[in-house]
C-alpha cells in the first residue's frame, strides 16, 4: 500500500539528564533526518538539584524539546512531585506525560499501550505503582474486541519476568529481575515492540512468536528491548531508533513474516497455566454440584442426537435456512421475486440485475434461502457465494472494469451483496478506497480497514449491524453500525463525482425502469455473462 513508516526513538531512564538526551536526539536527527516521536520508559526525572534546574528550563519555556516526547509516570516516590495528576497531560512544550495506564493512538493509527511505575506490593497501591486492577482495565477493553491482533508498541518501566526464556541471557541477576504481571500483560497484548528500563542495562531479546506452530494461524512476532540509563559510565545503549508502519495499515502477509532467528514465546507456559487454572476452577465447581447434573444417564435417550444411546452414528442433517417472518422480495421461491431480473441460478445462490441499477452491469449476489447477512451463512453457501464473486470479478475485468462489492446489514431482511463495476480508466483502487474513507469521515463514521484473510464472523457475530466493502485488490473495509446509518451510503460513494460521476443515480428509487427495460438489460447481461457462468457447467 506504500504506507510511509514512522521514525521513532525509544529511550531508557533519563533520570534528569534531559539536556544530554535531547542533544543526542539533535545529533541523530542532523544525520538521519527528523524523527516522529521519542518514547521514554523508566524514570524520566531526577531528584538532584542539577536535574531539577534542567527541568525548570523546559517547564518555563526557556528551552524546548526538539521532538514530540512521550514519557511514563514516576517509577519512584522521589519523582512523584513532577506529575500534577495521575492522568496524562502536557508537562512542557513537546513533552507529554502519557498517564498511569492506557492506550495512545496516533493520527497514523499507531497504537501504543503503556503502564507507568512499578508493581505495587501493598494495598492501597502507592501513587508510583500500578495494581492488578490497572492492568485488567488496560487489557480487557482491547482483547474483548474480536478484531484485536495486538498493539504496535508496549511501554513499561519494569521488565517482564522470564522474557529471556529460549533466548540470549541479559546482564542482570534474573532471580530478582522483572515481574510476572508485566509478562502476563505482554502475553495478552502481543506488542510488536516492547520497551522497558530501570535495570540499568541494554538487552535486546531475539524476536519471539505469538502463535503455536502448526496449531494456530501465523501471527506477527514481538521484540523486547530494554534500555540503559542516559549517560551511564559503561556506555551502554540507552537510545534505540526504529521504523514502524502501524499494524492497521499493513498487509496481513507482510505483518506475519517470521525472521530467521525467531524463537518460541517466553510466555508460552502462561497459556498452559491459564488452561490448567480454568480446568481446576471447573473441577472445583463440579465438586460442589450433584453428580447427576454433569454426567449423562446412559440408560436414557439423549436429546439432540448427541453421544447418548442411538445418537452416536446418526447422520448429520443439513441445516435448513431460516424462514422469513413475512413476504420477502429476495427469496427465490417467493412470489414477490421479480424473476425477470435473474441472471444466473446456482445450487445455493443466484445472481440478479440490481433494481434501479447504478450501471447496466450492476448486479446482486444473493442466497436462494432466507439469510439476513453473510455471517449467518453455512459454509456451503459461502463457498458458492465466493464463486459468484470471482466469476463477476473476471467478467468485469474482461470489460476493463474494477469490481467493488458492498453489503449493508442494517434495515435489511435478506442478504444482498451489491456488485458494481467501475471503469479502470476512470479511477484507481486507491481512489475508490479514499472515496469511501473520506465520505465515512464526513459522516463521523470510522470505516476501518481489516486484514484480507479476516472472516467477518470473527468481528461481527450474527445480529450485529454492519457495513462492509471489498475492493478488487482484496482490501476490505468495515464499519460496525451504531445508529442512523445512511441507507444509500454505498451507492452515494460510488455515484459521487470522484468515482462514477453520476450523483443523480445515488438513490435507486430515482433510477426505476419499466419491466420491459429491465428485461432488456437482464437479457443482454445474461448473454454477456454466459462464458463466466459456472452454474451452466455444473
Which of 82-96, 311-325, 397-411 shows the lowest mean pLDDT across its residues?
A: 311-325
Scored b (16 or more CB within 10 A) or e, 44-79 reads: bbbeeeebeebbeebeeeebebbbebbbbbbbbeeb
Is the pLDDT at 509 greater than 50? The verdict is yes
The pLDDT value given to residue 323: 57
215-246 pLDDT, tens digit each: 788 999 999 999 999 999 999 999 999 999 99
Nearest to 30 by CA among 80, 64, 70, 66: 66
Cα distance between residue 29 and residue 38, in whole Å: 12
Q: Can you tell me the mean pLDDT for 93-116?
A: 94
Instruction: For residue 470, count other CB atoms closer than 10 A to its CB.
Output: 20
The H or E element spanning position 104 is strand 101-105
Mean of the per-residue pLDDT values of the chain: 86
The pLDDT value given to residue 280: 39
What is the DSSP annotation of 404-471? Answer: EEEEEESS-SS--EEEEEEETTT--HHHHHHHHHHHHHHTT---EEE-TT--HHHHS-TT--EEEEE-
In sequence order, the 6+-apart residues with CB closer than 8 A to the CB of 402 are: 396, 421, 422, 423, 424, 427, 429, 432, 471, 472
Q: Report pTM.
A: 0.54
**Order of strands, sheet of 239-244, starting from the edge strand that comes earlier in the sequence:** 87-92, 95-99, 69-71, 37-40, 6-11, 239-244
The pLDDT value given to residue 320: 53
The pLDDT value given to residue 324: 56
Please tell me what DSSP assigns to residue 256. Answer: T
Alpha-carbon distances of 316 from 235, 303, 532, rounded to whole Å: 69, 14, 34
Question: Would you give the end-to-end CA distance of the chain in angstroms?
Answer: 38
More confident residue, 482 or 396: 396
Q: Which residues on neighbouring strands pair with residue 351, listed in sequence order?
A: 344, 365
Q: Confirm if 367 and 380 have CB atoms less than 8 A apart.
A: no
Q: Can you tell me the mean pLDDT for 17-40?
A: 96
pLDDT bucket at 322, cuts 50 / 70 / 90: low
Instruction: For residue 24, count other CB atoms closer than 10 A to its CB.
Output: 17
- Residue count (the chain): 538
Which of 211-220, 244-253, 377-386 shows the lowest mean pLDDT across its residues?
A: 211-220
292-304 pLDDT, tens digit each: 333 333 233 333 3
Q: Confirm if 432 and 404 have CB atoms less than 8 A apart.
A: yes
Q: Confirm if 154 and 191 have CB atoms less than 8 A apart.
A: yes
Is the pLDDT at 510 greater than 60? The verdict is yes
More confident residue, 287 or 499: 499
Is the pLDDT at 414 greater than 80? The verdict is yes
171-219 pLDDT, tens digit each: 998 888 998 889 999 999 999 999 999 999 999 999 999 988 877 889 9
Is the pLDDT at 490 greater than 70? The verdict is yes
CA angle 336, 340, 343 (to 5 degrees): 115
Q: Can you tell me the mean pLDDT for 114-131?
A: 87
Is the pLDDT at 325 greater than 70? The verdict is no
The pLDDT value given to residue 23: 97
The pLDDT value given to residue 315: 44
Amino acid at each position: 500500500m506504500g504506507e510511509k513508516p514512522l521514525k521513532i526513538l525509544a529511550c531508557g531512564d533519563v533520570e534528569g539528564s534531559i539536556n544530554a538526551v535531547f542533544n543526542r536526539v539533535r545529533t541523530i536527527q542532523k544525520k538521519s533526518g527528523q524523527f516522529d516521536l521519542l518514547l521514554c520508559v523508566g524514570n524520566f526525572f531526577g531528584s538532584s538539584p542539577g536535574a531539577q534546574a534542567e527541568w525548570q528550563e523546559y517547564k518555563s519555556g526557556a528551552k524546548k524539546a526538539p521532538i514530540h516526547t512521550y514519557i511514563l509516570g514516576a517509577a519512584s516516590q522521589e519523582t512523584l512531585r513532577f506529575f500534577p495528576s495521575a492522568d496524562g497531560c502536557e508537562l512542557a512544550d513537546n513533552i507529554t506525560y502519557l498517564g498511569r495506564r492506557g492506550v495512545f493512538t496516533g493520527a497514523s493509527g499507531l497504537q501504543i499501550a503503556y503502564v507507568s511505575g512499578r508493581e505495587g506490593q501493598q494495598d492501597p497501591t502507592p501513587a508510583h505503582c500500578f495494581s492488578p486492577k490497572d492492568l485488567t482495565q488496560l487489557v480487557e477493553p482491547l482483547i474483548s474486541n474480536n478484531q484485536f491482533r495486538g498493539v504496535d508498541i508496549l511501554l513499561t518501566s519494569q521488565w517482564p519476568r522470564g522474557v529471556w526464556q529460549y533466548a540470549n541471557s541479559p546482564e542482570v541477576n534474573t532471580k530478582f529481575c522483572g515481574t510476572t504481571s508485566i509478562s502476563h500483560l505482554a502475553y495478552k497484548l502481543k506488542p510488536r515492540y516492547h520497551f522497558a528500563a530501570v535495570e540499568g542495562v541494554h538487552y535486546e531479546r531475539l524476536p519471539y512468536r505469538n502463535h503455536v506452530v502448526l496449531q494456530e494461524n501465523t501471527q506477527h512476532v514481538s521484540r523486547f528491548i530494554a534500555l540503559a540509563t542516559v549517560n551511564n559510565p559503561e556506555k551502554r545503549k540507552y537510545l534505540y531508533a526504529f521504523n514502524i508502519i502501524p499494524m492497521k495499515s499493513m498487509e496481513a502477509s507482510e505483518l506475519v513474516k517470521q525472521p530467521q532467528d525467531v524463537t518460541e514465546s517466553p510466555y508460552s507456559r502462561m497459556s498452559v497455566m491459564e488452561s490448567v487454572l480454568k480446568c481446576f476452577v471447573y473441577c472445583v465447581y463440579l465438586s460442589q454440584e450433584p453428580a447427576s447434573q454433569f454426567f449423562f444417564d446412559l440408560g436414557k435417550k439423549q436429546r439432540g442426537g448427541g453421544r447418548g444411546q442411538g445418537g452416536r452414528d446418526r447422520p448429520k442433517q443439513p441445516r435448513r435456512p431460516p424462514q422469513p417472518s413475512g413476504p420477502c422480495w429476495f427469496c427465490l421461491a417467493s412470489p414477490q421475486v421479480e424473476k425477470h431480473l435473474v441472471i444466473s441460478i446456482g445450487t445455493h445462490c443466484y445472481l440478479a440485475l440490481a433494481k434501479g441499477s447504478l450501471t447496466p452491469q450492476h448486479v446482486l449476489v444473493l442466497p436462494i434461502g432466507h439469510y439476513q447477512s453473510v455471517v449467518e451463512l453455512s459454509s456451503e453457501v459461502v463457498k458458492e457465494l465466493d464463486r459468484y464473486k470471482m466469476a463477476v470479478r473476471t467478467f468485469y475485468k474482461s470489460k476493463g472494469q474494477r469490481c467493488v462489492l458492498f453489503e449493508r446489514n442494517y434495515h435489511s431482511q435478506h442478504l444482498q451483496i451489491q456488485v458494481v463495476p467501475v471503469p479502470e480508466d476512470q479511477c484507481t483502487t486507491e481512489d475508490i478506497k479514499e472515496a469511501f474513507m473520506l465520505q465515512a469521515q464526513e459522516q463521523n463514521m470510522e470505516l476501518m480497514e481489516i486484514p484480507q484473510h479476516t472472516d467477518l464472523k470473527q468481528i461481527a457475530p450474527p445480529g450485529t449491524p454492519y457495513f462492509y466493502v471489498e475492493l478488487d485488490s482484496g482490501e476490505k473495509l468495515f464499519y460496525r453500525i451504531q445508529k442512523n446509518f445512511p441507507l444509500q451510503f454505498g451507492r452515494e460513494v460510488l455515484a459521487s463525482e470522484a468515482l462514477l460521476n453520476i450523483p443523480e443515480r445515488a438513490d435507486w428509487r430515482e433510477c426505476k425502469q419499466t419491466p420491459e427495460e429491465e428485461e432488456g438489460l437482464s437479457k443482454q447481461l445474461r448473454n454477456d455473462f454466459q462464458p463466466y457462468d459456472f452454474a451452466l457447467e455444473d
